[in-house]
Amino acid sequence: MRKKDNKKTQIIEAAIKVFAHKGFYTAKVADVAREAGVADGTIYLYFKNKDDLLISLFETKMEEILNRFNTIVVQPITPAEKLDRFIHLHFELIDADHNLAEVFQVELRQSSKFLKDYHNERFIEFLNIIGQILTEGKVAGDFRSDINTTTFKIAIFGALDELARQWILSDHPQHQLKEYASELAKTFIKGLSPE
């Protein structure tokens, strides 16, 4: 049982790395197999096909990620503080585990366009955590009541995601992400505040 889980995990971790480096379409299943240290065929014992591997990878990792982010929402802090922590956590997770970052980059949203019959529910959940914080903030008076929650949950995610991407593409210097986080959080909180 544990053995089996290990192998599945092994393949997922390998896939994250390989897909992130080469892109889903240019990566070969054989590349993932080699990276995972298993035979090509082994992958098909755990995943229906290459697409399923990508989807499973998302689901698995997003599960973990969502759990981490959801802890923020329930804390007894102000919505503005929650947004600050959310942004910091986003970059912390990326800094701590590049593979996690790569999950967000590799075909993350594109996939929902090109993989048949896959609607990326986890991604929607992720956006909604931001949305929840914003809504809460409007109620609490931390944020202007005239802002459109949907607009800003998307905009905030876009800003975070693009910064992460550029950081990964560059030689990603130490500590830079923390600065990104602080600057960005401060600016968004200020921008969204009433008066």
In the range 127-156, which residues lie near a copy of itself by CB under 8 A?
Answer: 147-148, 151-152, 154-156
CB of 193 to a copy of itself, least distance (A): 8
Number of residues forming the site for a copy of itself (CB under 8 A): 40
* Partner whose footprint covers residue 73, from DNA, a copy of itself, none (CB < 5 to 8 Å by kind): none
CB of 115 to a copy of itself, least distance (A): 9
Taking the C-alpha atoms of residue 67 and residue 173, their distance in angstroms, rounded to an integer, is 28
Which 3-state string (H, E, C) describes the chain? CHHHHHHHHHHHHHHHHHHHHHCCCCCCHHHHHHHHCCCHHHHHHHCCCHHHHHHHHHHHHHHHHHHHHHHHHCCCCCHHHHHHHHHHHHHHHHHHCHHHHHHHHCCCCHHHHHCCCCCCHHHHHHHHHHHHHHHHHHHHCCCCCCCCHHHHHHHHHHHHHHHHHHHHHCCCCCCHHHHHHHHHHHHHHHHHCCC
Dihedral angle computed from the Cα positions of residues 92, 18, 106 and 73, in that order, rounded to the nearest 10 degrees:
-30
Q: Apex CA 85: angle with CA 83 and CA 86, to 5°?
A: 60
Indicate the residue among 38 and 147 with the shorter CB distance to a copy of itself: 147
Tell which one of 5, 6, 23, 70 touches a copy of itself (CB under 8 A). Answer: 23
Query: Stretches 29-37, 38-46, 132-140, 179-187: which one binds a copy of itself (CB under 8 A)?
Result: 179-187
CB of 50 to DNA, least distance (A): 4
In the range 21-60, which residues lie near DNA by CB under 7 A?
Answer: 26-30, 38-42, 44-45, 49-51
Verify binding: residue 72, a copy of itself, rule CB under 8 A: no
CB of 3 to DNA, least distance (A): 6
Note the residues at the interface with DNA (CB under 7 A): 3-4, 7, 26-30, 38-42, 44-45, 49-51
Note the residues at the interface with a copy of itself (CB under 8 A): 22-26, 107, 109-110, 112-114, 147-148, 151-152, 154-163, 165-166, 169, 179-180, 183-184, 186-193
